[in-house]
């Protein structure tokens, strides 16, 4: 069974993340969207909100689960029996950053990282941009799944 995790803070999940998950789930038997908790990071949305956004976005998708974790991503992979980490790439800077992490993870464990390029129409979207638009009361609805749209 091919089990992968898609780790991130998802503050909030964007259509870029959604794109990677929808395409990535076809490659694996099970895909766990893994929300990392970092106590030193200030989030716009609570862990419960972020988890709820993701669960609602992928309702009815039996191969997708949502979990939270602390610590090293590779330790979480070992704990749940995942052999793959799925990551999305938007641009060359993402690649350089993610490449270093992937090499380190493989050196410390047997876990392989699989990269997918974000679809061209979504490559400009990031959670930090979405948070900035929300902070300034802009229309962010075209950047996130419907589950994130605050009523």
Q: Is the pTM of this model over 0.85?
A: yes
CATH number of the domain to which 141 belongs: 3.40.50.620
Catalytic residue IDs: 17, 41, 90, 127
Tell me the three-class secondary structure of the chain, residue by residue.
CCEEEEEECCCCCCHHHHHHHHHHHHHCCEEEEEEECCCCCCCCCCHHHHHHHHHHHCCCCCCEEEEEECCCHHHHHHHHCCCEEEEEECCHHHHHHHHHHHHHHHHHCCCEEEEEECCHHHCCCCHHHHHHHHHCCCCCCCCCCHHHCCC
Give, for all 151 residues of the chain, the pLDDT tens digit: 999 999 999 999 999 999 999 999 999 999 999 999 887 789 999 999 999 999 999 999 999 999 999 999 999 999 999 999 999 999 888 899 999 999 999 999 989 999 999 998 898 999 999 999 999 999 999 999 999 987 5
Domains contained in the chain, number: 1
Range of the domain at 47: 3-148
């Amino acid at each position: 069974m091919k089990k992968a995790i898609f780790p991130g803070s998802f503050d909030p999940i964007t259509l870029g993340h959604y794109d990677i998950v929808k395409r990535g789930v076809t490659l694996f038997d099970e895909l766990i969207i893994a929300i990392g908790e970092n106590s030193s990071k200030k989030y716009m949305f609570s862990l419960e909100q972020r988890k709820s956004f993701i669960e609602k976005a992928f309702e009815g998708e039996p191969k997708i689960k949502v979990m939270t974790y602390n610590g090293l991503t590779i330790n979480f992979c070992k704990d749940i029996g995942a052999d793959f980490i799925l990551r999305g790439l938007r641009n060359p800077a993402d690649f350089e950053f993610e490449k270093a992490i992937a090499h380190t993870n493989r050196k410390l464990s047997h876990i392989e990282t699989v990269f997918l390029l974000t679809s061209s129409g979504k490559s400009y979207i990031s959670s930090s941009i979405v948070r900035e638009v929300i902070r300034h009361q802009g229309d962010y609805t075209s950047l996130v799944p419907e589950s994130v749209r605050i009523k």
